[in-house]
Amino acid sequence: MLDEVARRGLVLLGCGKMGTALLTGWLAAGVPPGAVWVLEPNPTDWLKASGVHLNAGLPPKPAVALLAVKPQMMGAALPALQALGGGGTLFVSIAAGTSIATFEAALGADTPIVRTMPNTPAMVGRGITGICANAAGQPGLGLARALMQAVGEVVELEGEHQIDAVTAVSGSGPAYVFHLIEAMAAAGVAEGLSEEVAMKLARATVCGAGELAFRSPESAAQLRINVTSPGGTTAAALEHLMAGLPPLMVKAVHAAAARGRELGK
């Protein structure tokens, strides 16, 4: 599937942390650096040395134009790619809060557009991305999936109406996990551990549990049960967590999804 990218080229608009993660994955998957054109006003030394075409115009009919700028910068960035709209190039967006209708208005209704929501674990090849497309973009879903699989897993959504929920659960989700690490470490300090030891324990525990959840065929609920002896220490802790965490998480995810919908207006 990436052969088409190698043959016709790919334009990457924006190469910050997520753009860099994606580009790293594509190069590792065999996309030639010479097949990639990057538009980035503040390139890193790594990007300058990567061998890609950097701020050097655009190929005439690239297979893909991937939009990796921040939502608030999208309006100013899109005009640089308007000439590629109309059907010959698949547009893939990783920006939260910028709707397919906005892209169609700027690029033309016949432009194939795939909207995606990856997350920051893509930086270590362990991301997960939700994808959906407009009518013109349906044939391009396979190519978009191949591009995003270079940095992790991909789930296809029923439609764009689900993208804000994906943003709230997995797009913003890494921050929830990092805050859990902070909270666990702070609780350890409150029980008498040093900050260094408490943080090391919390980070390793969350990372290890996440890897176990990733590899195990058992459900998250069963993995929890496996750790919990009746009347034991884990049960004592879960009595508090299971009373407060689920409703709090519902509120948090709802707030993130609502903000995503606001940004899309």
Residues 243 and 201 in one domain: yes
Residue 37 counted as domain residue: yes
Residue 13 counted as domain residue: yes
Q: Is 233 exposed, middle or buried (0-12, 13-18, 19+ CB in 10 A)?
A: exposed
Residue 241 CA, chain-centre distance (Å), reads 28
Structure tokens at 206: 């969350």
Residues 181 and 153 in one domain: no
Residues 88 and 111 in one domain: yes
Residues 124 and 217 in one domain: no
Would you list the DSSP string of 213-241? HHH-SS-HHHHHHHH--TTSHHHHHHHHH
Residue 179: give the domain boundaries. Answer: 173-263
What's the mean pLDDT in 151-168? 95
Residues 88 and 27 in one domain: yes
Would you list the DSSP string of 31-96? --GGGEEEE-SS--HHHHTS-SEESS---SS-SEEEE-S-GGGHHHHGGGGGGGTTTTSEEEE--T
- Give the pLDDT band (50/70/90) at residue 86: confident
Residue 77 counted as domain residue: yes
Query: What whole-number percentage of the chain has pLDDT above 90?
Result: 79
Residues 48 and 137 in one domain: yes
Residues 107 and 193 in one domain: no
Sole residue written with tokens 């990796």: 68
How far apart CA 175 and CA 178 sit, in angstroms, is 5
Residues 135 and 213 in one domain: no
| Domain count within the chain | 2
Residues 232 and 156 in one domain: no
Residue 203 counted as domain residue: yes
* CATH code: domain of residue 206: 1.10.3730.10
Residues 94 and 11 in one domain: yes
Residue 94 counted as domain residue: yes
Residue 168 counted as domain residue: no
For 188-201, give one letter per residue: b (16+ CB within 10 A) or e: beeeebeeeebbee
Indicate the residue among 163, 189, 207 that finishes a domain: 163
Q: Is a pLDDT exceeding 90 seen at residue 73? A: no
Query: What whole-number percentage of the chain has pLDDT above 70?
Result: 100
Residues 50 and 129 in one domain: yes
Residues 6 or more apart whose CB falls under 8 angstroms from that of 223 comprise 209, 212, 213, 216
Indicate the residue among 115, 142, 163 that finishes a domain: 163
How far apart CA 109 and CA 123 sit, in angstroms, is 33
What's the mean pLDDT in 187-206? 98
- Give the pLDDT band (50/70/90) at residue 77: confident
- Give the pLDDT band (50/70/90) at residue 221: very high
What's the mean pLDDT in 2-22? 91
Residues 177 and 206 in one domain: yes
* CATH code: domain of residue 50: 3.40.50.720
Phi and psi at residue 96, to the nearest 5°? -75, 145
In this prediction, residue 67 carries a pLDDT of 94
Indicate the residue among 135, 163, 191 that finishes a domain: 163
In this prediction, residue 70 carries a pLDDT of 82
Q: Is the pTM of this model over 0.75?
A: yes
Residue 245 counted as domain residue: yes
Which residue in 131, 92, 99 sits closest to 113, CA to CA?
A: 92
**67, β-bridge pairs:** 13, 93
